Amino acid sequence: MSESEWPASLADTELEELDQFLRAHAKDEHLLLDGVHGLLTSLAIGPAPPTPDEWLAEVLHEPFTDVEEGERVLTLLARLNDSVLLEIETGAYEPILGEIDTDDGATTFTARGWCEGFSRGIDLRAPAWESRLGQDSDLMQYLGPIIALSIEDEVFESDADFAPLSDDEYDECLARIPDSVDAVASYWRENPVTEAEDVLRGESRQPPRRRGGRWVH
């Protein structure tokens, strides 16, 4: 099958394969599959499209020792990126979230990894995001659910005193991620960056905190 004939979306087995590779090579500050999905999402809906070299540098941190494995991983990452773009374009976007164990032995969804990746995508275009967020309250409103989740999961720090989200409020914010993604994508399409807005990479933030869980789509 030629590359042009590959389906845009990865099968669950392919997601598992990519997840296992990322976990096998991950250090504390590295993104896992949920984080890579968040990264690709924020770049896809943001002020300026990235080059592959830009976002791959956030995902892969050492040379491949096996050429065949390297080609396979790069193919899966490219197709994951294509699937994000297609889901956003067709209004079928769903985030890849992690799972964590609860105190009662059950599991629950967490957006921590996805939000960390999303924030790194914003970092890659920090000047444009910061400029626009500082002057347009609509964009901040569209990002509301993602910001709430990021503060709750300690991905973003805030000077404001926010009450912790209840379980129901957290789940509601998770359910609103697709609408938030769609609204932000529409915003940047309708309000593109100007020549005065620098879209080059801004200052990197501190490395993220460790997170647990495994990917779930």
Give SS3 for 147: helix
pLDDT computed for residue 163 by the predictor: 84
pLDDT computed for residue 128 by the predictor: 92
Report the chain's mean pLDDT, rounded to a whole number: 86
pLDDT at residue 208 tops 50: no
Are 184 and 142 in contact, with CB atoms under 8 Å apart? yes
pLDDT at residue 12 tops 70: yes
- Write down the domain spans for the chain: 9-207
Of 149, 45, 168, residue with least CA distance to 98: 149
pLDDT, average across residues 51-73: 94
Q: Cite the beta strand spans of the chain per DSSP E.
A: 97-101, 107-110, 215-216
Are 217 and 12 in contact, with CB atoms under 8 Å apart? yes
The DSSP code sequence of 100-124 is EE-TTS-EEEE-HHHHHHHHHHHHH
Distance CA 25, CA 90 (A): 33
Distance of CA 27 to the CA centre of its chain: 18
Of 97, 134, 128, 133, residue with least CA distance to 215: 97
Are 94 and 111 in contact, with CB atoms under 8 Å apart? no
In CATH, the number for domain 9-207 is: 1.20.120.740
pLDDT computed for residue 9 by the predictor: 80
Write the burial class of residue 43 (CB in 10 Å: 0-12 exposed, 13-18 middle, 19+ buried). Answer: buried
pLDDT computed for residue 66 by the predictor: 93
Q: For 174-204, write each residue's pLDDT tens digit.
A: 999 999 999 999 999 999 988 777 655 444 4
Residue 42 CB contacts under 8 Å (≥ 6 apart), including other chains: 117, 118, 119, 120, 121, 122
In the structure, what pLDDT confidence band is assigned to residue 103 with cuts at 50, 70 and 90? confident
Of 184, 185, 110, residue with least CA distance to 150: 110
pLDDT at residue 206 tops 50: no
Q: For 131-166, write each residue's pLDDT tens digit.
A: 999 999 999 999 999 999 999 998 977 666 678 899
Q: In degrees rounded to 5, what are phi and psi of residue 36? A: -60, -40
pLDDT, average across residues 45-56: 92
Give SS3 for 55: helix
Structure tokens at 24: 């096998």
